[in-house]
Structure 1
Amino acid sequence: METDATAAVELRAVTKRYGSMVTALDAIDARFARATFTAVMGPSGSGKSTLLHCAAGLDRADGGEVTIDGTPLRGLSERALTRLRRSRVGFVFQAFNLIPALTAEQNVVLPLRFAGRRPEPGAVAAMLAEVGLTDRAGHRPSELSGGQQQRVAIARALVTRPAVLFADEPTGALDARSGAEVLRLLRAAVDRHRQTVVMVTHDPVAAAHADRVLFLADGRVVDDLTGPVGAEKIAVHTARLEEATR
């Protein structure tokens, strides 16, 4: 099977089932081009998080093919898959998932340590500066606000310069001001550093920061908006989709 060299991540006919009754992803085709920001939306249970987990190699698809940065995941051993995730994938979670005993700087260094890489001189400091936390490098998560913790998580996800950064409801636990700062950083990662970002969100305002909005329902892609799309148009699409799936 040929892969698309212009895609950071590609899914072809990807299926994921849980037990014999639940099909979370139903032969989904999706590609995420390099240096783009895609928001994934849909009703609860539509398959958004499952899509993210399969696309990131956190969960194995039952059928079809997932390719990250030109490498098909099918057939990779668990060790090889782990190495690929550590070097080519970044992940930002709603709950931050920082290590409480480590400082902000140590949390950012962690993916490099896991990948067996020595940080380049100044690289970690530069990442913390990028997210506006130079003066918080020595603080532990309990000493940081929620917005600051999520900015540390973004720095941690980007420090390896991954092929793709996946974000699962990254603003869900934040107030409006902190959420807007996180979205600004994700947008800047795409515009300044040619990063690829794929974000699951339920918030039309958050989705409006993306170049593209992919809508899921019942494990399938049912709509795909591209180009500058305002929050109001996204909200209308979301409401129609939720009404149709009731």
Structure 2
Amino acid sequence: MTALDRVSLTIPKGTFTAVMGPSGSGKSTLLQCTAGLDRPTSGAVMLGDTDLTKLSETKLTLLRRGRIGFVFQAFNLLPSLTAEQNVALPLRLAGRRPKRSTVLGVLEQVGLRERAGHRPSEMSGGQQQRVALARAIVTRPEVLFGDEPTGALDSQTSREVLALLRGMVDRGQTVIMVTHDPVAASYADRVLFLADGQVHDELHAPSAEQVASRMTRLSVVPC
């Protein structure tokens, strides 16, 4: 079975792209290939001038640590560490000594500087996801990938996190997000619709209603 079939696309720098599609359409595979987590059996994945498919596992790991950020539905925070320590972790893993001012500055960017000394169990789900977002951007990644980043949040908290992502894009960050939520997708500049491993449609500057309508049509695309 082919997960992705002759998919060719360009994600412009400093844009917000949402990826949607029915279950099994290839959304997660596309995200994992573009983020360097999986290797495609053919083709190339370019991050700037770097072809991720040509890198060794060691070089790919180093690239992901320095040039790519991840935010998932599960917050994946270490429960024994404070928010500040969780955010500093990617820098430590990269062999860099994190400056406290840098870490606190990123926490301030997501509105949680005053929670720097709190552990995950002392924070709400929305606050934990914002810490996860701060952790993802502390290395100043070229691309931030989100896999259903608001899937575990209530609607109000989800909008707050999406507004943070939108604000980062408006300041030059590149974001690629897989989502099933038309409201979440409406925060993006472009929505790509996948079906059967191919890009079947796209929308620019979408509304939630337009996204929902396209998804309804996509669900009846013949195999």
| Equivalent residue, structure 2, for 1:221 | 199
Q: Between the two structures, name the one with larger relative contact order (CA 8 Å, sep ≥ 6).
A: 2
Pairwise CA RMSD:
1.1
| Equivalent residue, structure 2, for 1:236 | 213
**Partner AA of 1:163 in structure 2:** E
Superposition TM-score, scaled by structure 2 size: 0.97
| Structure 1 residues not aligned, in runs of 5+ | 1-21
CA shift for structure 1 position 245 = 4.7
CA shift for structure 1 position 181 = 0.6
**C-alpha distance in structure 2 between counterparts of 1:172 and 1:27, whole Å:** 29
Q: Among residues 211, 216, 219, which one is paired with 2:189 in the alignment? A: 211
**C-alpha distance in structure 2 between counterparts of 1:158 and 1:55, whole Å:** 18
**What are the residue-to-residue correspondences of 1:120-199 with 2, within 5 Å?**
120-192=99-171, 194-199=172-177
**C-alpha distance in structure 1 between counterparts of 2:6 and 2:80, whole Å:** 42
CA shift for structure 1 position 121 = 5.0
Q: Among residues 73, 82, 88, which one is paired with 2:61 in the alignment? A: 82
Q: Among residues 92, 98, 111, which one is paired with 1:113 in the alignment? A: 92
| Equivalent residue, structure 1, for 2:44 | 65
Identity %: 65
**Partner AA of 2:83 in structure 1:** A
CA shift for structure 1 position 73 = 1.2
**Partner AA of 1:74 in structure 2:** T
Contact 1:69 1:88 in 2 (8 A): no
Matched position secondary structure for 1:244: coil
Superposition TM-score, scaled by structure 1 size: 0.88
| Structure 2 residues not aligned, in runs of 5+ | none
May I ask how many residue pairs the two structures share in their alignment?
Answer: 223
Contact 1:214 1:224 in 2 (8 A): yes
**C-alpha distance in structure 1 between counterparts of 2:115 and 2:36, whole Å:** 32
CA shift for structure 1 position 62 = 1.1
